[in-house]
Structure 1
Amino acid sequence: MKVLIAGGAGFIGSTVASCLLDAGHTPVVIDNLVTGRREFCYGRIFHEGDIADASLVDGVLHRHPDIEAVVHCAALTVVPDSVARPVNYYRANVAATVEFVDRLLVHGVRRLIYSSSASIYQPGPDLAVDETSSLGAGNPYAHTKLVVERMLADVAASTPLRVLSLRYFNPIGTDPALRTGLQLPTPSHALGRLIHAHRTGEPFPVAGLDWPTRDGSGLRDYVHVWDLATAHLRALERFDELFPAGGPGHLAVNLGTGTGTTVLELIAAFNALVNPTVAVAEAPRRPGDGVGAYTRSRLARDLLGWRAERDLTAGIADSLAWFGQRERLLPDLAVMPHSLTG
């Protein structure tokens, strides 16, 4: 199967591409390299550009008429940044997707997997969410994901396009073969900042210790990125089974571990693997932060035959392994070749 991956030079998209390659499929990547890395596309079919560029998307789909499905991972994703720059997020995440989907419809594409976010849920008292939980995004980033899902549902209701939205929270880990990983040298999420604190000897700032959780720190659902990639693969291979004739054109499925991990528990698990350990410093809540939640993933098991297989320790260990070689693989100051297309 040939699959178009929008945002395939980013953390999630490049890992999905690796998983597809391992399974014998052919990924075709579109990425504007705003946050993605060209190095993740070496040896892969890569078209540099923005999904909002109609002529680019038309050209890719004309060049690859045998594309059978699309995985949409292209997005800006940093919550505090979305609070500071909401226009950028609505432009990149919402407006660009509208233009992209318009071209997919013109070219008769009818299978789309949207890499969404479980941050669109309003968690219940136990901080768990499933596909029936109330929706209500708490920051501009999450709002953009919710708006796009609603747009895609409307489009799927009146066109042959069928859309599967995969909702998840906090990806950690890396491709087991260390082909791709977190591209930023100092990621904004908790595990990335923990690794940075360990390397610099600085204390780790915990953003709030007054959340309504068992230890006062925020609760997260950390799912290994390779498990996420495997879920995308399962979804592609079972896609048509998910959308029987006469049924709805949009379906949402949660991907998660089924358990929540607090930030302090993450730090304890991290410190169990490193020496010296990282000290903790209390810090104010960040703009856009919430208490957090975790996902129930029974529907993913029933429909996709999927469950998270890699635990928190594996995710931390794999992330440490990636950052141990990241500077060699991703020379931030190097001048890279201008283009790589296939």
Structure 2
Amino acid sequence: MRVLITGGAGYIGSTIASACLDAGIEPVILDSLVTGRRAFTEGRVFYEGEISDGPLIDRIFTENPDIEAVIHCAALIVVPDSVADPIGYYRANVAESLELVDHLIRNGCTRMIFSSSASIYRAGDDHTVTEESPLDPQSPYARTKAVCEGMFTDIAAGAPIRILSLRYFNPIGADPKMRTGLQLRRPSHALGKMIEAYEDGVPFRITGTGWPTADGTGIRDYIHVWDLATAHVAALERFDGLEADVINLGTGAGTTVRELVDAFNRVVDRPVEVVEAPARPGDVVGAYTRSDLAHRLLGWRARHSIEEGIRHSLEWATLRDSRLT
């Protein structure tokens, strides 16, 4: 099998490509390299360009006529940036995705897996969600994902393409073989900021301490990026027989930011201290998923612990600069 991965030079897309290779599936990478890294495409079929570029999509399918499916990971993903630049986010995440699907249908592609987000949910009082939970996106970034899902549902109802949305929770870690990892030196998510504080010898800022959780900090479902990647392989292998068009990918366990700090300090040689700060624009209390559907339909469960995700993130952080130069 050969699969086209848009955004395949980014953190998640490149890890999915590695998981595909390990499973005997050949990835074809399309990435604009706006946030992706060329180093993550080494040894892989790679096209540089935009997902909205129709002639480029035509060329990819002409040169790779055996592509059987597309995994659509290309997107802008930073919540505060989406608040500051909603037009840019809607253009990149919605308008360009619409163009992409149009080009796929024209080229006879009938299968697509969409990288969606759990940020579109309204969590219940216990902070858990299932695929049936109500949607209530709270940031421009999250709304672009919800809009795309609705758009794809409408398109699939009237065109010869099926689109499976995998709603991600909060990826951490790196490829355990250290082929790829988070490409940013200063990422905006909690674990990235924690590693930055650890490296710089400064306190970690917990942004938001008044949420309705056990300790007042936000709650997330931290899933190892390799587990996330292997779920995509399972989805590719079972795509035609799947009974659902939406599947959550998470561990099934909630972890607060303070609990993440505690796990981090169990792994490192010197603990990070914490200071409290206000929530950032677009921040939400968070949620975690009940993962029964992914297990039933994909035969998949998350295997890696939070501590393993932290260790792999720390190991990658020591290698990142040398791997990306």
TM-score normalised by the chain length of structure 1: 0.94
Q: Distance in 1 between matches of 2:324 and 2:269?
A: 25
Check the 8 A contact 1:10/1:35 in 2, yes or no: yes
Counterpart residue number, 2:225? 225
Check the 8 A contact 1:11/1:183 in 2, yes or no: yes
Counterpart residue number, 1:295? 289
Check the 8 A contact 1:171/1:222 in 2, yes or no: yes
Return the letter of the residue paired with 1:94. V
Residue 272 of structure 1 and its aligned partner are, at CA, apart by 1.1
Q: Distance in 2 between matches of 1:193 and 1:95?
A: 31
* Helix, strand or coil at the partner of 1:265: helix
* Helix, strand or coil at the partner of 1:238: helix
Instruction: Give the 5 Å matches for 1:234-273.
Output: 234-242=234-242, 251-273=245-267
Residue 56 of structure 1 and its aligned partner are, at CA, apart by 1.1
Counterpart residue number, 2:323? 329
Residue 327 of structure 1 and its aligned partner are, at CA, apart by 1.4
* Helix, strand or coil at the partner of 1:272: helix
Counterpart residue number, 1:16? 16
Residue 275 of structure 1 and its aligned partner are, at CA, apart by 2.3
Q: Distance in 2 between matches of 1:131 and 1:207?
A: 28
Instruction: Please list the CA deviations of residues 143-169 of structure 1 after superposition, one character each: whole Å capped at 9, or x if unmatched.
Output: 000000000000111112011100011
Counterpart residue number, 1:120? 120
Residue 74 of structure 1 and its aligned partner are, at CA, apart by 0.2
Q: Distance in 2 between matches of 1:63 and 1:294?
A: 41
* Helix, strand or coil at the partner of 2:102: helix
Residue 312 of structure 1 and its aligned partner are, at CA, apart by 0.6
Counterpart residue number, 1:156? 156
Instruction: Give the 5 Å matches for 1:74-113.
Output: 74-113=74-113
Give aligned-pair identity as a percent.
61
Q: Distance in 2 between matches of 1:275 and 1:306?
A: 33
Counterpart residue number, 1:279? 273
Q: Distance in 2 between matches of 1:272 and 1:63?
A: 50
Check the 8 A contact 1:168/1:295 in 2, yes or no: no
Residue 132 of structure 1 and its aligned partner are, at CA, apart by 0.5
Q: Distance in 1 between matches of 2:26 and 2:143?
A: 32
1:168 aligns with 2:168: yes
Residue 58 of structure 1 and its aligned partner are, at CA, apart by 1.2
Instruction: Please list the CA deviations of residues 114-137 of structure 1 after superposition, one character each: whole Å capped at 9, or x if unmatched.
Output: 011011110010000000000110
1:146 aligns with 2:146: yes
| Corresponding residue to 1:305 among 291, 294, 299 | 299
* Helix, strand or coil at the partner of 2:240: helix
Check the 8 A contact 1:11/1:36 in 2, yes or no: yes
Q: Which runs of 5+ in 2 are unaligned?
A: none
Check the 8 A contact 1:79/1:139 in 2, yes or no: yes
Instruction: Give the 5 Å matches for 1:136-215.
Output: 136-215=136-215
Q: Distance in 1 between matches of 2:183 and 2:105?
A: 32
Return the letter of the residue paired with 1:255. L
Instruction: Please list the CA deviations of residues 66-118 of structure 1 after superposition, one character each: whole Å capped at 9, or x if unmatched.
Output: 10000000000001111111111101100000000000010110010001101
Q: Distance in 2 between matches of 1:28 and 1:14?
A: 11
Q: Distance in 1 between matches of 2:179 and 2:32?
A: 20
Counterpart residue number, 2:50? 50
* Helix, strand or coil at the partner of 1:95: helix
Counterpart residue number, 2:61? 61
Return the letter of the residue paired with 1:280. V
TM-score normalised by the chain length of structure 2: 0.99
Question: Any runs of at least 4 consecutive aligned residues in structure 1 with deviations exceeding 4 A, and if so which?
Answer: none
Check the 8 A contact 1:218/1:290 in 2, yes or no: yes
| Corresponding residue to 1:315 among 297, 309, 313 | 309
**263-272 vs 55-64, which deviates more?**
55-64
